[in-house]
Amino acid sequence: MPYQLPASLELLHHRPPLIDVRAPIEFARGAVPGAINLPLMDDDERRRVGERYHRNGNEAAVALGHQLVSGRLRERRLDAWRDFIAAHPGAMLYCARGGQRSAIAQRWLAEAGSEVARLQGGYKSARQTLMQATEQAARAPMVVVSGLTGCAKTRLLLALEHGVDLEGHARHKGSSFGRQPVETPTQIDFEHQLALDLAERPTPFVLEDESRSIGAVEIPLPLWEAMKPAPRVRVEMPLDWRIEQIRRDYIDDLWVRYRDHYGEWLGWTLMRRQLVSALVRLRKRLGQDRLDRLLNRQQHAFAQHRRSGDSRAHHGWLAPLLQEYYDPLYHHQLARSGQQALFVGDWQACLEFVADYCQRHHGEPILAQSVAP
């Protein structure tokens, strides 16, 4: 007998192998974490069936769907599902709302001797569950780590079980220079992965002070609103220390990622283009004269770096960028917010304070609580 399982937070937490039978265009907008797209219909077939539905109703649309996906094409898609199920025991099916498409796929598989469950309510139900989890997490205690650019705030929260890496989920380091040589998630995929992370972390959550936008995605509004008044810990480190940290993050580590992703020559070319473009995007705030000065220093640094392999030449443009742009901007925003820090100290002192704070204010993991699908 065909069976369904509810899209509960507990089920999604285990990240079961999922077959998303929606069309590729739907999958590209966002999916349930752990899913692979093996569609019942491709984009064109889905479009034609949709048009038939609007003109002639559901029965005619279903008949056209069976006509389009038949014979060898039907067998190929069935084989793809069976291969995935054989390689991933416990796999499940889902479509947009847990309706016709996943039911058809489930029936075809049963007729071929493969019993598989489908996700009750499909993608829509799973998304509702994950968004409810984020809303619940936003009501939990949290502490926000702030500080000037280069204070290794992300590294601090990653050292803690309670840390939630928003930039990691966004695959972006948050500033104009933060783009990574990897595909960025859609807003929906960012929200879904973040929801599961929040559900699995103990409280209080530790998050980095961010603007709502991180690269191409935005922090979900309930969480963003909860972060604004949350108690803050401010990391303060000397300029030389911060420049070294920035160089490792935005030059050395970035170069390794580009090289590994694209190879030596193309990786260097694309990394250089990204860092130049990031600086140019600050033209309005820097002013043309200061931008030209920083660009000249940046080009000189690239030439030295390429020739000697020593990235310390980049200090020549990173130091004034911090002193003349990022630091004044941070101090202006801090004064405007009027927020008082719970604790101010160097990186190690802040790490120890936050670890102690989490221990003293430790709550139950969100996952242990009941969240309705």
Active site residues: 95
Report which residue type is found at 260.
D
Do 347 and 235 form a contact (C-beta atoms < 8 A)? yes
- Exposure of 300 by Cβ count < 10 A (0-12 exposed, 13-18 middle, 19+ buried)? middle
Do 114 and 90 form a contact (C-beta atoms < 8 A)? no
Do 314 and 247 form a contact (C-beta atoms < 8 A)? yes
Pick from 150, 173, 176, 179: nearest CA to 286: 176
Count of CB atoms within 10 A of residue 365's CB?
14
Provide the token pair at 283: 């033209």
Pick from 232, 244, 240, 265: nearest CA to 340: 232
- Dihedral (CA of 23, 54, 122, 188) sign: positive
d(CA 154, CA 246): 12
Pick from 155, 153, 171: nearest CA to 209: 153
Kindly tell me the number of DSSP H helices and DSSP E strands found in the chain.
Answer: 19, 11
| Strand partners of residue 19 | 36, 93
d(CA 130, CA 371): 9
Placement of tokens 């008949």 in the chain:
63
d(CA 107, CA 113): 10
Do 177 and 250 form a contact (C-beta atoms < 8 A)? yes
Do 151 and 365 form a contact (C-beta atoms < 8 A)? no
d(CA 30, CA 22): 11
d(CA 296, CA 122): 54
